[in-house]
Chain A
Amino acid sequence: MDNFTPLSAAIGGTLIGFAAALLMLTTGRIAGVSGIVDGLIGSAAGRAWRAAFVAGLVLAPVISSLVGFTLPMPQMPASWVLVAGAGLLVGFGSRLGGGCTSGHGVCGIARLSPRSIAATLIFMGTAMMVVAIARHALRD
């Protein structure tokens, strides 16, 4: 567990929780990123607050780079087909399943929603299986 970073994880997680609690307490909305983005491209009501949330999300790395922390290039698979396929699955799956890591994994579980607990266990288990196959079964 050489890569384990418990302190930054706890601080970052606290901030994520604070952000979700803030949105809940002020606007009564769920800080589920896939649902917020979907409402922006669809015909859902409340475009303005959704756009404001996404703007804040995208502004975070821009502001942080101004104070000296530049977000490094993420390491992604070289295959554009693979990246596009994964993006499609994440987009379609999050909408069919009614949420993603933030909406189900943080907000939903905090509300003790059985649907969110089930969804989180399923997508986490599935992702672990995919990584196990890609990194171990196919390479060993």
Chain B
Amino acid sequence: MLLLASLLSGFIFGCGLLISGMVSPIKVLGFLDVFGAWDPSLAVVMAAALIVTRIGVAIVLPRGRPFLAEKCDWPSKTRIDAPLVFGAMLFGVGWGLVGLCPGPALVNLATLSPQVSIFVAAMLTGMALHGLWRRFPAGMRARSAMPIQVDG
């Protein structure tokens, strides 16, 4: 049941990206291009997604636990720290350069576009590098207090 729910969630998520047009880097860059022919579609996608997700949060929070699992596996961190700020900035640079973020990149694999495959391979490499870097001995790293927890 748990796997079926995850599969269905991923599938609906992918359909949402397809229908909204957010799989298209041109569409995403059109939103990010505030000084050009601005396309606010991404803002509408986010607003609609936020409203519906918020309903889900409002159902599960007072209940205390999800329907198919023991507990909610939610991030507990609240502090806005340096890794969050720098990470979001690096992510923003990559996102702005080609208009792809992880979800749409994976959906676009189906087009068999070589560029998308390169992007996804590089993205996985970036994630793996972060994993390696985090496991680096503390003494060899300038900043040792890196967060282990992730938000999403």
A residues at B contact (CB < 8 Å): 1-6, 8-35, 37-38, 41-42, 48-50, 52-65, 69, 71-77, 80, 82-111, 113-116, 118-120, 122-132, 134-136
Contacts and interface: CB of A to CB of B under 8 A. Distances in A.
Contact of A3 (B5, B41, B100): B41
A84 B122 contact: yes
Interface residues of B, number: 120
Given A12-B15, A71-B18, A90-B126, 12 more contacts: A15-B16, A49-B6, A59-B10, A64-B18, A76-B100, A91-B94, A97-B88, A98-B87, A98-B150, A104-B151, A106-B50, A135-B35
A27 B122 contact: no
B151 A95 contact: no
B97 A123 contact: no
A130 B119 CA distance: 18
Contacts of A126: 88-89, 91-93, 95-96
A130 B98 CA distance: 10
Contacts of A71: 18, 23, 107-108, 110-111
Contacts of A125: 92
Contact of B106 (A52, A54, A107): A54
Nearest to A50: B6
Main SS at interface, chain B: helix
Main SS at interface, chain A: helix
A131 B51 CA distance: 28
B73 A80 contact: no
B9 A119 contact: no
Given A62-B110, A106-B53, A110-B54, A87 B10 contact: no
B57 A34 contact: no
A22 B18 contact: no
